[in-house]
Structure 1
Amino acid sequence: MIRFGVWCRYAVCAALLLISVVAGTHPGFAQTSASNMDAVLVVDVSNSMTQSDKNKVSNEAMKMFVDMTSIQKNKIGVISYTDKIEREKALLEVNSEQDKNDIKAFIDSLQKGAYTDISVGVTEAVKILDAGHDPANAPIIVLLADGNNYLNESAGGSQAQSDKRLQEAVKAAKSKGYPIYTIGLNADGQLNRTTLQQIAAETNGKFFETSTADKLPQILSEIFANHLKLKVVPIKSFTASGQIQEVPIAIPNANVMEANISIMSPKSVEVKLFDPAGKEVPIPSDQVRLSRSNAYTMIKLIKPQQGGWSLQVKGVPKEKIDINMIYNYDLQLQMEPVGKQSFQAGDVVPVKAALVTGGQKVSSLDLYKQMKGTLIVTDKTDQKTSEMPLTNTGSGFEGSFTVPASHAYELKVKAEDTSFYRETQPLLVDASASGAGTQAGQQPPAGANSDQKPFPWLLVAGSGAALLAVVAIVLYVLSVWRKANKGFAGQLAIEIVDEDTGDKSNPQYKKLSAFKGRVKLHQLLQLAPEFQETDKVIFLPGKNDTLILENRSTCRIEKAGRVLDMSHGKELKKNDRIKITLTSVNKSVFVDYIV
């Protein structure tokens, strides 16, 4: 039950919201910009890709994408498809190097299949984001394919049906803000550019094309940087001599949270790293992470010291080596709010923006020295975009925008230098007839007497009734929100037993802290198609670190050898073990609740 004081605060918030609606003003909200992502990597594993990607460099590129992510609440899922989902891993929160290794091992396990239907992969990617996307993270889908379908007509597959499913999936991705970056492999000259270009364009993603899979790591780097508003900084390209070759690495300021150094080479390289004082830094160590693959070596510096570092690289003679860097900053760019709420042509709108970290303006003035600020103006009426320079004051960016016409405009500020890029959240300046409100110079209607206005009893009564309705709605929404966002405690240990052979899988430990409100057993089983019926076996957070189990499926659930009556939810306590017998396949799932 909500305490009276808390209820009053909710009522006041509701009243303020109502007053703002009646008065024609808009409440202000803090602007945020996601620095983490929820990424779903989707790869075509049909036989047609055998020619497009002979050496499975698409797998190497996906693993590099995983290695570039920081260990701070990023989530990654993987889908491999033909004309059906071959393998998939639902969004997994990356909290450790082991989490990354698990995802990369899954990528290495992907196998080829006969047919292909691109709509299958895109549709499933949208479903995975729907099931596990964190609103605080930036969602993204990366699709690696040649864009062609090879349908199993004997099983009823048709191009018309596939096109319809794809159109629906792309429409859903667009409406939910899931950009799809498409990478077309064209080694055999059979790339279907049109399909991949349309998917990217319609979802605000980007299309990339390559005739050689060796370029995939570079493309994945660009996608990673573009989506998080970072920059790929070319460091050096050279041909290895077989001897140590020195590569300078600059850490421009103290706000660099991570520096990802990617060394692309078809052959293994030896590396050494030296800090600005000339001292060798162990690789790996607490400050330096190392990842190796068949196509790249990745070095990640964690909160590196500002200054000139040195990388020593020794490669196989005559092999080409490309070294790039992505700086991940613990910085955001924020624009100061504009006090005025209504605008008209000719108004001058002041523009100010500054870099912030942890909600506070950055105090390091050195950070701004080489930085350029630009105002981006999009005319929402004419759909035209223009840019104008802002003044770098040494502690931020300033300028102004004069409203040229009675249109609606979206304003954004971008700040950039050779290694840095940030944009503010957009600010709407609406001077259109529908959005400008009462403009200066307008007169009251003829016959109106401004000195003798009757007291608006009807408005007050209506507002009071509306206030009570709003309060009731707020309280209801709050209760629903609290229930949907209640956290879990502990983890589940899951084992799968093949009842025909008696084979048992190794226990998989699933931390429940990554979920809010509810979690389906199907999610914990990585959404594997053969376990689809477990989509209706649901866990809810209970009181005192317990779980509430609901079964809306045809599965049979046992505890201590007894079949549970699941007409109502059952409470699971610490160390409780249940057996879930599936009906669609002859397998059982054992679940242990560990706190």
Structure 2
Amino acid sequence: MKKLRFGMWYRYALCLMFLFVTVIWSAHPGYAQTVGNNMDAVLVVDVSNSMTQSDKNKVSNEAMKMFVDMTSIQANKIGVVSYTDKIEREKALIQVNSEEDKKDIKAFIDSLQKGAYTDISVGVTEAVKILDAGHDPANAPIIVLLADGNNFLNKASGRTQSQSDQELQEAVKAAKAKGYPIYTIGLNADGQLNRTTLQQIATETNGKFFETSTADKLPQILSEIFANHLKLKVVPVKSFTANGQTQEVPISIPNASVMEANISIMSGKAVEVKLFDPSGKQVPIPSNEVRLSKSNAYTMLKLVKPQQGDWKLQVKGVPKEKIDINLIFNYDLQLAAEPIKATSFKAGDVVPIKAALESNGQKLASPDLYKPMKATLIVTDKTDNKTSEQALQNTGSGFEGSFTIPADHSYELKIKAEDSSFYRETKPIAIDAAKTGTGATTQQPTTTSPAAESKPFPWLTVLGGAGVLLLLVGGGLYAWAIWRKANKGFAGQIAIEIVDEDTGEKSSPQYKKLSAFKGKVKLHQLLQLAPEFAETDKVIFLPGKNDTLIIENRSTCRIEKAGRVLDVSRGKELKKNDRIKISLTNVNKSVFVDYIV
């Protein structure tokens, strides 16, 4: 390997210094950051033949796509798993940064096909693995499972129901331990729903169980799950029956803190929509302010940072077609409690309670936002395991009250504030007034206390640490650079299909996660070292820049992309969703490779 140039060494040193200072900076209490309301969601769907009766019109697909459309384009991640008694297809968590990302996910959902058998443990286990591999700690994890809860195992495989139950139990236990709530949707169109299994999965992971005997209720259920997980509320808009004429629906934007308003219009037939802002001006659909998504079961409008006030939605549907409209507002808000100054407590002490809404760490003082809100102090007696509630006063810029400690017990306090469209909760505050306890109070505030803000930044600590770090950089950088190339990680996964050119027979797609490999991987390894594919040992994949993949061909195989033969002897970059065909010479077969990020 060539020696690193001084300029490169300098850049690496600066990066390491920046990292060091950032760690010190973020650890200093006066510089804490607030986590936003984003999510990492894995949608899991049973695609076995039994679902042909449970979900005849594939409305489960429409519901999943609607969930994708409701998601904000701001650091959310979505993955998809379809399973039978094996993983049929999967898409690892990908960050949703654009409407194109959403289209890719929805196209993937539309491509799902059914299989013969069912093993629910396979789908749940894989969903947990996907979150393990790609979950961002700053995002709220969630798994949504659409199934009838029944297993139909392949007897020829030798797998038993006991084995499946054991693996499901282990997956649920892992999800609970890692804070992955599983929301289960029982599809019961044929009356064969296994409620017990789906209820247990949801209950044990702090999720929620839903049941429907008609698939057209799925979009409504997905709306509720989306809202529940992000501490939002579905705002119902009166349903009506279309008459073939334009019918007007009022849409009220309650305050200026609404980041997005998701208007979902459920109808089995296409609808025409128009939108007018509070001034009466018609707003173009789609536009920068209003995004439009359509599917077979719904039409969705997403209003971005809408103006506060009364909007008007005009809907024209097919006569006699029932139309349901739901409204969900996205807010970038948190509720933070003021730190409690006292450090010891006993029965009879009065603890002052204060909380306020924040956005990006800044306290909000908007009377319009606070006016319709109610706040409650939720007290859990950890000694007696009892919970009680008491109302707090709305001051117009926050919430206030007090808690009188009734006994020498341990307590957990939490404040909940809500209006008709959303709710927020503070992090728990623990108060120990037990006679045998320490009398201490602990809490995890999301805001910085004035005392913390007044402390000077520890520049001497930073500069001294940075100096020591620079002394260590020079000695370790060269070895690190060598190691880095050999251990560079891959992004995403590839899907492999094998086609017999003589018979036209095509194998089911096999998905291979590249994260298990470092530095390079041979196609022969991904084909499980099958002897008939030995020539693919010289077809090599390397990790590229910006989540790309480099393919090098040192074999006699022919590689094509979009019908054109590629010269990849010196390497060729594959980008997201690129598909190549590798024609073998020793056997009359072709290997199709899709690169999925």
Q: TM-score with structure 1 length normalisation?
A: 0.75
Q: Which residue of 1 aligns with 2:190?
A: 188
Contact 1:240 1:315 in 2 (8 A): yes
CA deviation after TM superposition for structure 1 residue 187, in Å: 1.0
- Alpha-carbon deviation of 1:533? 7.4
Find the aligned partners of 2:96 and 2:435 in 1 and give their Cα distance. 48
Which residue of the partner structure matches residue 201 of structure 1?
Answer: 203
In structure 1, the partner of 2:376 is: 374
State the AA in 1 paired with 2:50: S
- The sequence identity of aligned pairs, in percent, is 69
1:63-212 pair list within 5 angstroms: 63-212=65-214
Asked if 1 retains the 8 angstrom alpha-carbon contact of 2:493 and 2:514, the reply is: no
Secondary structure in 2 aligned to 1:346?
Answer: coil
Which runs of structure 2 are paired with 1:35-434 in the superposition (5 Å)? Answer: 35-433=37-435
State how 1:459-498 maps to structure 2 within 5 Å.
none
Tell me whether 1:579 sits opposite 2:552 in the alignment. Answer: yes
Report the Cα distance in structure 2 between the residues aligned to 1:404 and 1:168, rounded to whole angstroms: 41
Residues 399-408 or 171-180, more deviating: 399-408
Cα distance between partner residues in 2 of 1:85 and 1:113 = 10
Deviation of the 1:342 alpha carbon: 3.0
Is the 8 Å Cα contact of residues 533 and 553 (structure 1) preserved in structure 2? no
Whole-angstrom CA distance in 2 between matches of 1:13 and 1:288 = 39
Contact kept in structure 2, 1:555 and 1:580, CA below 8 Å = no
The amino acid of 1:409's aligned partner reads: Y
User: CA shift at 1:551, angstroms?
Assistant: 5.2
Other-structure match for 1:445: none
Cα distance in 1 for residues equivalent to 2:23 and 2:306:
48
Mapped to 2, the partners of 1:408 and 1:219 lie a distance apart of: 38
Q: Secondary structure at the match of 2:510?
A: helix
Q: Deviations over 1:290-322 (max 9, x none)?
A: 111111110000000111110001111111111
Give deviations 1:214-269, integer Å, cap 9, x for gaps.
10000000000000000100112111111111101111111110000011111111
Distance of 1:490 and 1:7 partners within structure 2 = 23
Q: Secondary structure at the match of 1:204?
A: coil
- In structure 1, the partner of 2:454 is none
Q: Distance in 1 between matches of 2:490 and 2:343?
A: 48
Aligned residues: 502
Structure 2 unmatched runs, 5+: 1-11, 442-467, 482-487, 503-507, 528-534, 562-567, 577-597
Distance 1:416 1:157, change over 3 A: same
The two structures, once aligned, show a CA RMSD in angstroms of 4.1
Describe the shift of the 1:415–1:171 C-alpha distance in structure 2 as closer, same or farther (beyond 3 A): same
Q: Contact (CA 8 Å) 1:247, 1:311: kept in 2 or not?
A: yes
Cα deviation for residue 94 of structure 1 reads: 0.6
Label 1:265 to 1:406 Cα distance change in 2 as closer, same or farther (>3 A): same
1:580/1:45 Cα in 2 relative to 1: closer, same or farther (>3 Å)? Answer: farther
TM-aligned CA distance change 1:6 to 1:154, over 3 Å: closer
1:537 to 506, 517, 535: 517
Q: AA paired with 1:579?
A: E
Decide whether aligned partners of structure 1 residues 434 and 216 sit closer, same or farther in structure 2, where only a CA change above 3 A counts.
farther
**Is the contact between residue 273 and residue 280 of structure 1 (CA under 8 Å) also seen in structure 2?**
yes
Q: d(CA) in 1 for partners of 2:493 and 2:572?
A: 6
Provide the secondary structure at the position in 2 that maps to 1:277. coil
SS of aligned partner of 2:249: strand
Larger mean CA deviation between 360-369 and 75-84 belongs to: 360-369
Please tell me the residue identity of whatever aligns with 1:238: F
Give the whole-Å Cα distance in 1 for the aligned partners of 2:20 and 2:421: 49
Relative distance call for 1:491 and 1:168 in structure 2 (3 A) is: closer
Greater shift, 336-345 or 68-77, is seen at 336-345
CA distance in 1, matches of 2:56, 2:358: 46
State the SS of the aligned residue for 1:167. Answer: helix
Contact conserved, 2:522 with 2:539, CA < 8 A, in 1? no
CA contact (8 A) 1:405 1:431 kept: yes
Q: Deviations over 1:385-434 (max 9, x none)?
A: 22110000111000111222233222111111112211112222222355
Q: Deviations over 1:576-595 (max 9, x none)?
A: 9433899xxx9999862789
Aligned-pair CA distance for 1:530: 2.9
Structure 2 CA distance for aligned equivalents of residues 84 and 576 of structure 1: 27
Letter in 2 for 1:268: A
* CA–CA distance in structure 2, aligned partners of residues 533 and 320 of structure 1: 44
Q: Kindly tell me: are residues 194 and 93 of structure 1, through their superposed partners in 2, closer, same or farther at Cα, counting changes over 3 Å? A: same
Summarize the Cα distance change of 1:334–1:46 in structure 2 as closer, same or farther, 3 Å threshold.
Answer: same
Give the C-alpha shift of residue 571 in structure 1: 9.0
- How far 1:339 sits from its partner (Å)? 2.0
- The CA deviation string for residues 267-303 of structure 1, in whole angstroms up to 9 with x for no partner, is 1111000011111101101100011111111000000
Give the match's secondary structure for 2:150.
coil
580 and 64 in structure 1: CA distance in 2 versus 1, 3 angstrom threshold: farther
Partner of 1:461: none
Q: What are the superposed Cα offsets for residues 540-571 of structure 1, whole Å, 9 maximum, x if unpaired?
A: xxxxxxxxx355997499xxx999999xx999
The 3-state SS of whatever aligns with 2:92 is strand
1:543-558 correspondence runs (5 A): 549=519, 555=525
Answer whether contact 2:25 2:31 (CA < 8 A) is retained. no
1:99, 1:249 → 2: CA distance?
A: 28
Q: Distance in 2 between matches of 1:102 and 1:216?
A: 22
Aligned partners of 2:497, 2:160: CA distance in 1, in Å? 37
Preserved contact between residue 581 and residue 587 of structure 1 (Cα < 8 Å): no
CA distance in 1, matches of 2:523, 2:409: 54
Residue 381 (structure 1) shift: 2.9
Deviations 1:352-381 (A, max 9, x none): 111111211113222111111111122233
**Aligned partners of 1:135 and 1:43: how far apart in 2?**
25
Distance 2:310 2:522 in 1: 60
**Alpha-carbon spacing, 1:578–1:382, altered in 2? closer, same or farther (3 Å):** same
CA shift in 2, pair 1:491/1:436, >3 Å: closer
Describe the shift of the 1:88–1:154 C-alpha distance in structure 2 as closer, same or farther (beyond 3 A): same
The answer to whether the 8 Å contact 1:536/1:551 transfers is: no
239 and 592 in structure 1: CA distance in 2 versus 1, 3 angstrom threshold? same
Structure 1 unaligned regions, length at least 5? 18-26, 440-470, 503-527, 539-548
Q: Deviations over 1:2-29 (max 9, x none)?
A: 8999999899999x99xxxxxxxxx899
Amino acid at match of 1:105: A
The structure-2 alpha-carbon separation of the partners of 1:369 and 1:11, relative to structure 1 and needing over 3 Å to count, comes to closer
1:512 maps to none
- CA change 1:145–1:433 in 2 (3 A) is farther
Relative to structure 1, the CA distance from residue 373 to residue 437 in structure 2 (aligned partners, 3 Å threshold; closer, same or farther) is closer
Find the residue that maps to 2:137 and give its secondary structure: coil
- The residue number in structure 2 matching 1:592 is 573
In the aligned structure 1, how far is the partner of 2:320 from the partner of 2:75?
A: 40
User: In structure 1, what is the Cα distance between the partners aligned to 2:520 and 2:314?
Assistant: 58
Alignment partners' CA distance in 2, 1:6 and 1:577: 30
